[in-house]
Amino acid sequence: MHSNAKAVTDYLKEVDPSKKEAFTQLRETILQHIPAGFEETMSYGMIGYVVPHSLYAAGYHCKPEVPLPFASIAAQKNFIALYHMGVYANKELLDWFIENFQKVTGKKPDMGKSCIRFKKTDSIPFELIGKLMKKMSVKQWITLYEQQLKR
């Protein structure tokens, strides 16, 4: 769901009750495992995890006034989504995630380029998501992001 909420707490109030428990657990998993330096904020109508300007003054190349996006979560109409730019930008990380997702769930992930969709709220592999979030520090993300820009 794209939201006009200005604060994370307001977004959470808008989450459909059928998704609220799983969505809250996904958010808590991210907050517990994301490396220091990333900040939680509203970003593009979703809950975002960004590199603040205090750590990366250049911001996002498309909109320099916006902090550098790293990940987002959203409660969409038919699924819960995790958008992870590291998975999009790093083939090794993508391969690791797909392989481990299949080991944990016995299924292939439902994915777009950076989007991981969970249509069933009871099928979210929270422990794996925690491991994914730990895999890239702010410094590693900035380095990878800048390498991708130069291409």
Is residue 117 in a domain? yes
- Residue 151 confidence (pLDDT) above 80: no
Helix 126-134 with 17-33: angle, nearest 10 deg: 40
Is residue 2 in a domain? no
Q: In angstroms, rounded to a whole number, what is the distance separating the alpha carbons of residues 24 and 115? A: 18
Paired strand residues for 49 = 40, 71
Tell me the CB-side half-sphere exposure of residue 37, using CA atoms within 13 A: 18
Of 21, 1, 14, 145, nearest in space to 86 by CA = 145
Of 79, 134, 138, nearest in space to 109 by CA = 79
The pTM (predicted TM-score) of the whole model is 0.94
Which residue range is the domain that position 103 belongs to?
8-150
Considering its fold, how many domains does the chain have in total? 1
Q: What CATH number corresponds to the domain at position 32?
A: 3.90.1150.200
- Contacts of residue 7, defined as CB under 8 A and 6 or more positions apart, other chains included, come to 42
Is residue 1 in a domain? no
pLDDT tens for 45-73 read 999 999 999 999 999 999 999 999 999 99
Is residue 33 in a domain? yes
The structure tokens 């992870």 sit at 84
pLDDT tens for 75-107 read 999 999 999 999 999 999 999 999 999 999 999
